[in-house]
Structure 1
Amino acid sequence: MTSISPLFLLHTQPDARLLAAWVARHHARHARQSADLGDAFHGLFRAAFGSFAPQPFRYLDERRGLLAYTRLDLRAMAEQVALADPQAAQTLGLGASAEHGGYRLRPFPSEWAVGQELGFEVRVRPTVRGPQGEQDVFLRAVARVGGAEGESVERRAIYAQWLFEHLSEREGVMHQPWQGAVELLDVQLNAFTRSKVVRRTQASEGQDRKGKVVDGPDATLVGRLRVINSVAFAHLLARGIGRHRAFGFGMLLLHRVN
């Protein structure tokens, strides 16, 4: 069996006051159009960790804090925090180790029992690329049946199928190491909204990266899965699901099945 690098779950408690100040300072152009915390945390992680920035990540709320997957162990994390931009580190809640009430790091298994059933939760942006850019897969399905929402087009079912397609091996598509990791046993739509996110172009010489506000689906899916490939499942956790994984989407959160 092929081994992969250990994975760790990072938990931090970002400072809400400093976070608001960071957003106002670094995202002033888009503050009135979009409160995109995903873009803010993306920038904070880059300022604190550079190319070692943890992802995928999920910001739950001010009370529960932020979770992220990382390959950095306790020693490597401490080294990165010591070298981090001080303001970014303080905003993210990286100012101290767990022993002093700061960030916490918990090791995750690198091998999972085949056949094990787990509950999951994942925040995703279920879109597909088209001629006009990204499109909500549900709205595309509605358009295909004549533009009328009805019993034949259910948002939960469309998003569940989107999730299934992202996890399964598909004919004619190059195999990826995370595909074929799990069997989905149950998928429910736990929450849905539409949110605006900021996406930035590549910086041109002598100019800053330009941002564009994009509206799209913001869904939280919950359910049960069964591990069918241990190594692939470890890759899936480390990678995340869908696009926008570096901006607060795609982190697979797990829990025991009662």
Structure 2
Amino acid sequence: MTALNLIHCQPDPKKFVMWASRHGLLPPGGDLGYAFHAALSAVFGSLAPKPFYYRDERAGLLAYTAHSGDALREASGLCAAPDLADALGLDAGPHSPGLNIRSFPAQWQAGRVLGFDVRVRPVRRSKDAQCKHGRERDAFRIPIDEEADEHVLRREAAYVEWLGERLQSSGAASLVEARMTRFRLTPVIRRTQAGSGDGSGNGNGNGKPRQPRVINGPDAVLSGHLRVEDSDAFANLLRHGIGRHRAFGFGMLLLKPASVDN
């Protein structure tokens, strides 16, 4: 069984936004997800943890990783620039507890009910002749576009259904109940895919580097209870996260003791 660790750090919001702005990592009015993705990659290199979740200034940043605390601290010591380490709160000080790492359970009893919170990007792929893999569409809007009863299908119900499908398809868990505790539409930055290259190693076939692209979409936090169906599959689900944009702050399943009966 692959080990699983939970890491936590307490970024300084002002310092981190300044760092992200200097590097062009903030979409207009957008989310910090891409900036944290870039920061974690800069600090930990190939060991960068995902999925991760930055809730707010008080809660800080949480992430799951299969790598050991020693390996992560060595990587951050070698890779992290002083200003970025300070912005992420990696070193203990008056305003930060530093980088904390602890082991997380990797075995789960089938049938156990757990409480959860998860921030997700609930999108589906719609068919598009001009897009090989289809386009991402808000999971709430697709049924309406197909003339479903708009008064019956509420956004919350659509997202809860979306989450239940993903838990079931993984074979890891089943949804007991869930509710939407936060919703907003947010832009995220993605980089365009590079082409075959012209030998310069800096971009696509025209020699252009990958360009940032802003994508607007749903950003929801769902809370509720789930039932573990398979221990190994559930541990794998925790390591990889749920849904799209897992490397950008979505999909990390936060667990807590159940507040309902099994």
Pairs within 5 Å for 1:39-58 = 39-58=34-53
Whether 2:188 is the aligned partner of 1:197: answer yes
Which residue identity does 2:88 align to in structure 1?
L
Structure 1 residue aligned with 2:10: 13
- 1:173 is aligned to none
Contact 2:91 2:97 in 1 (8 A): no
Rounded to whole Å, the distance in 2 between the matches of 1:8 and 1:76 is 12
Contact 1:184 1:224 in 2 (8 A): yes
Alignment: residue pair count: 240
1:247 positional shift? 0.2
Greater shift in the superposed pair: 104-113 or 117-126: 104-113
C-alpha deviations, 1:145-170, integer Å up to 9, x for none?
26x6312x12122111111221223x
| Stretches of 4+ aligned residues off by more than 3 angstroms | 205-208
1:66: which partner in 2?
61
Residue-by-residue CA offset, 1:104-163 (whole Å, 9 max, x unaligned): 1121111111221100010101111222721101111111126x6312x12122111111
- Give SS of 2:55's match: strand
State percent identity of aligned pairs: 46
Q: Which amino acid aligns with 1:140?
A: I
Three-state SS of the structure 2 residue aligned to 1:36 is coil
Post-superposition shift, 1:208? 3.2
The alignment status of 1:180 with 2:177, answered yes or no, reads: no
Q: Does 1:129 align with 2:120?
A: no
Partner residue in 1 for 2:229: 228
- Cα distance per residue 1:172-218 (max 9 Å; x no partner): xxxxxxx1111211011111111111111134155432111111111
- 1:77 is paired with a residue whose SS is helix
| Amino acid corresponding to residue 57 of structure 1 in structure 2 | F
Q: Secondary structure at the match of 1:202?
A: coil
Runs of at least 5 residues in structure 1 that lack an aligned partner in the other structure: 170-178
Instruction: Indicate which of 76, 97, 106 corresponds to 1:101.
Output: 97
SS at match of 1:134: strand
Determine helix, strand or coil for the equivalent of 2:8. Answer: strand
- Contact 2:9 2:98 survives alignment (8 Å): yes
Checking the alignment, whether the CA contact within 8 Å between 1:118 and 1:225 is kept in structure 2 is yes
How many Å separate the matches in 2 of 1:65 and 1:38?
13
Q: Which runs of 5+ in 2 are unaligned?
A: 129-133, 195-202
CA distance in 1, matches of 2:238, 2:3: 11
Aligned to 1:255: 256
CA contact (8 A) 2:9 2:97 kept: no
TM-score by length of 1: 0.87
* Separation in 1, partners of 2:85, 2:5: 18
Q: Secondary structure at the residue paired with 2:63?
A: strand
Cα deviations across residues 78-109 of structure 1 (Å, max 9, x unaligned)? Answer: 21121122233222222349xx9311112111
Please tell me the root mean square deviation across aligned C-alpha atoms, in Å.
1.9
Query: Does the 8 Å contact 1:196/1:216 carry over to 2?
Result: yes
Measure the CA separation in 2 of the matches of 1:168 and 1:62: 33
Q: The residue matched to 2:176 in structure 1 has which SS? A: strand
Distance 2:45 2:193 in 1: 17
Q: Give the SS at the match of 2:84.
A: helix
Distance in structure 1 (CA, Å) of the matches to 2:183 and 2:31: 16
The aligned residue for residue 217 of structure 2 is: 216
Aligned-partner residue type, residue 113 of structure 1: Q
Asked if structure 1 preserves the Cα contact closer than 8 Å seen for 2:8 and 2:61, the reply is yes
Secondary structure in 2 matching 1:238: helix
Separation (CA, whole Å) in 2 of partners of 1:249 and 1:123: 5
Amino acid at match of 1:114: A
Report the AA paired with residue 218 of structure 1: D
The alpha carbon displacement at 1:43 in A equals 0.5
